[in-house]
Structure 1
Amino acid sequence: MNKSRTSLVGLALAGLLSACHSNPEPKPAQDAWGPQPALPVVDGTAAFSLGAADAYVNVMPTAARMPAFPALETQAGKVRGYVADLSGQPLAGAHLGLRSSVYYASALATTDSNGYYEIPAPVGAVSFYATGISRPYDQGQAVMGLCPADNDGAGFVSDGGKVKNFVLLSYGPGAPDQLSLHPSFESSYFGGALSFSYGIEDYASPPSYLPPSATIEVQLAPDGPGLFGETRTFTIRKEVGNVRTQFGVLNIPVGKYRLTARLQDGRALRMTEVGPRVGIYPHFGLKNSAAPGAASVLFTPTPGFEPSMAVPYAGNWRAVDIRLELP
C-alpha cells in the first residue's frame, strides 16, 4: 500500500472515530430546568353528599397540571427522561424499571441529582414495571408512585428509543383503564384514601350501631399544608339507610389531616382503625382517637414496598380503614 493510500485510510478511520465520539448527546446540565408554572391552588372548602346506596366519592375530580421539563431528543435503543415533583423540582433517587416482551428482560435506573435517568432499552415491546421514590412524609418515610407526564402508561417498541418524564403528584387520577374499571379503588388515584364502615341498627343490634335514618358527617381539615401546599377542607355527608355498611373517600391530597366524625344530629362517633395494616407503621394511619369524634390521620403506603416495586401509574396509597360507632 503506498503512502498516499495509507494516509487516506488513516483519515477515514480518524473521521469514523470522531463521529462515534460525537454521536452521544451530552448529559443534561443542571441549569436545563427553566421557569415553572405556578402550583395549582387547592384551598377553601368542598362538600359532598352521598345517598344510602353510594359507595364512594372522589373529592378531587380534576387532575393537576404538569411541570415544565427540559427538552430531550430521542436516542435509539435508550429510554430516558426526567423525574420531578409537581412544583418542577427535580427528584434524585427515583427508581424506574423497564421490562421487555422478549425473554422477560428487564433494566432498572435511578435518577441523578438533576432528576435525569437513562436506561438501555431491552429488545422488543417494553413497558415500565416500576416507577417510585421514597420521600419524607410527616415523621416517617413513604414509598410513593409516579405519574407519566404525558398521562400515557402504554408500552412501546424499544428500537426507536423513547423520552419519558414522570411526576410525583399529591392527587389526581391514575391509569385510565384502571380508573374506568375500578373507580371505587384507592389504587386508581394518586391521592390518599379513607374507608369507613359501620353497623346498622335493628331490633337485635348493639347500641353502637347507627340508626338507618341517620346521616354521617365526616370532615377532613388539613393539619398544615399538604405535599404541595394544599389546604382544602372536605366535608362528606353520607345517609346510613339499609343498603350498605361502608363508603370510601378517595383521591384526597396527600398530607396530614384532623378528622372529625359525627351524626348530623350532633352525636359524636367513635373512630377505630381496623384491618390488616393496623400497627404496621408507627406514624401513619389513624392516631390520637381516644376521644370520640376527633382524630389525626396520615395515609398509609403499601407495607414492605421498595421504590423499585412501586406499581406504575398509581400513587401507592392504601385506604385507612376506620370503623364508626356510637360511644
Structure 2
Amino acid sequence: MSRTPPATRPPAGPRQLHPGAWWLWALEMGAAATRTTNPAILLLLAATAGYVVAARRGDAPWSRSYGAFLRLGLVVLGIRLVFAVLLGSPIPGTHVLFTLPEVPLPAWAQGVRIGGRVTVEGLLSALYDGLRLAVLLVCVGAANSLASPARLLRALPGALYEAGVAVVVAMTFAPNLVADVRRLRAARRLRGRSDRGVAAVLSVGLPVLEGALERSVALAAAMDTRGFGRTADVPRRIAAATAGLTLAGLLGVCLAAYGLLSAGGAGWAPPVLLLGLAAAFAGLLLGNRRSVRSRYRPDPWAVPEWLTAASGAAVAALTVVLAGRDPAAFAPTVVPPTVPVLPLGAVLVVLLGLVPAFAAPTPPRRAS
C-alpha cells in the first residue's frame, strides 16, 4: 500500500520590510529636511531618498508613484518662485534683478504688494523655502513607493483601525491616479495618438480622476463587506479612557515634535515627548480590547526594520545637533547673499539614510 505524503505548508514568498519601518524612515528624513535651508544638504537628502527607492522599490502599481511626487515637488518649487516674483518677498534686498510694474493697493492692504522690485535676496529665500518643502514631498513620495497601503492597514493597532481605514483608502488615491495615467497614456499611444500636450491632458484628465476615485471607493466597500473596522462592546468608561489617552498622547507627541524642530524647545520638548508616548501607548493597549479582527501571518519586526528606523532617527537627531552647533552652515544667510557650504559632518549624517538600501530585503518581483 502506498502512503500519502504528509501535507506541508507552502513556502512563504520573499519577505518584505514592515511598512511602518518605511514610513518611520521617510518621516525622519523629512524631519531632518525641516532643520536646514542649505540647498546642498537638501539635495543630498533628496538624492539619498531617491537611491533607496531605486534600490528597494517593487513592481506593484503603487510603487510607481515616486516620479509623480518628484514632479509635484518641482511644481511647488516653481509656484513658490513665481509668488516671490509677483507678490514680492519680506526679505529686504539691495541686488535688484528687474522691476515689474507695481499695482497700487488701498491703505488697508499695507505690507502686501503686487509687482515691484525683484531682488536676488528675495529669490534666494523663496528658493530655499520652496526646496525644503519639495524635499518633504520627496520623502513622503518615497514612503508611498516603498510601503504597501494594504500591509500598512493590517499593521495598525486596534485603537487606530477605524481612522486607519479612511487614511489608507485616501492614500490609495494617488497610486491609483498614477497607474491610471500610465494606462491611458499607453492606450493613446497604441491608437496612434499623442500622449503629450494640453489636449491629451484634458482628454485623459476626467477618466483618470473618475477611475482612481472609483477604485478607492470600491476598496472601501470591499473592506466594509469583509468586516473591517468592526469593534467589540466594551464598557463606556474604558472607551472614554482609550479616546482620552490616545488623543492626549498624540497631541503631546505633536507638540514635542514641534518643540524639537524649533529653536527654543530643547528644554521642555523631551519630557513632553516621553509623556505623550506613554499616554498614547496606554491608549493603544486599551484600544486593542475593542478589536475583533484576526491577523494572518503578521509582518515581523526584525533586524532590518530596526536598522531602517534607526538610520532615519540618527539622521534626524544628528541633523538637529549639528544645526544647533553650526547654524550658519545649515541656514545660509541671504542678506547678504552667501555661497552655501556642504559640511563634511552633514554629508556623513545624511549618508546614514542609505542604510535601508542595503539592510532591507529585496522586494519580490512578479513573474513576467
Instruction: Report the TM range for the smaller structure's normalisation.
Output: under 0.3
TM, length-normalised to structure 2:
0.20
- Which structure has the highest strand share of the two? 1
TM, length-normalised to structure 1:
0.22
- Which structure has the highest helix share of the two? 2
